[in-house]
């Protein structure tokens, strides 16, 4: 056999092995829907032994169904956070749906530390974290 044929055969064998492993992993996980009395439907991932691996109920730290953040709301949230912490730069503004928090703003302070500020729907400060060093 030529070197080219051996190489092609090796690559094909590797592809078959990796494809089989992917199918095996996918087959070992199942998703079940549970209807909860007050929370609607929760998705639950089950491993092969049918033990609960993870549970995600609606409203449990799931911000994916929140409306997109408008530029006006982003500016209002950023300005409210800066007014609370003093000088700095807004590095991130996100919509939140946890514990009454409507917006979470990350502010990078002039000394390099980072502060998280949680705001209500009226852009009032609900809480402010202690300055932390970002190790990134």
Domains of the chain (ranges; CATH) run: 3-56 (no CATH), 71-133 (3.30.505.20)
7-42 pLDDT, tens per residue?
778 787 777 776 765 555 455 444 444 444 444 444
Least Cα distance to 107 among 118, 120, 122 occurs for 118
Q: Higher pLDDT residue, 128 or 55?
A: 128
β-sheet bridge partners, residue 117: 105, 128
104-124 pLDDT, tens per residue?
999 999 999 999 999 999 999
Q: Is 125 helix (H, G, I), strand (E, B) or coil?
A: strand
Residue 4 has pLDDT above 80, yes or no: no
Are the CB atoms for 114 and 131 separated by under 8 Å? yes
Q: How far apart are CA 124 and CA 84, in angstroms?
A: 9
Residue 49 has pLDDT above 50, yes or no: no
DSSP type of residue 57: -
């Amino acid at each position: 056999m030529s070197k080219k044929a051996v190489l092609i055969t090796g690559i094909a064998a590797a592809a078959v092995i990796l494809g089989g492993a992917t199918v095996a992993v996918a087959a070992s996980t199942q998703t079940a829907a549970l209807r909860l009395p007050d929370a609607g439907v929760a998705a639950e991932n089950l491993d092969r032994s049918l033990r609960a691996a993870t549970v995600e109920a609606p409203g449990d730290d799931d911000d994916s169904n929140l409306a997109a953040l408008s530029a006006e709301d982003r500016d209002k949230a950023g300005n409210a956070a800066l007014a609370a912490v003093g000088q700095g730069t807004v590095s991130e503004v996100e919509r939140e749906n946890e514990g009454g928090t409507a917006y979470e703003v990350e502010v990078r302070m002039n000394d390099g530390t980072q502060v998280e500020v949680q705001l209500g729907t009226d852009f009032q400060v609900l809480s402010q974290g202690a300055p932390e060093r970002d190790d990134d």
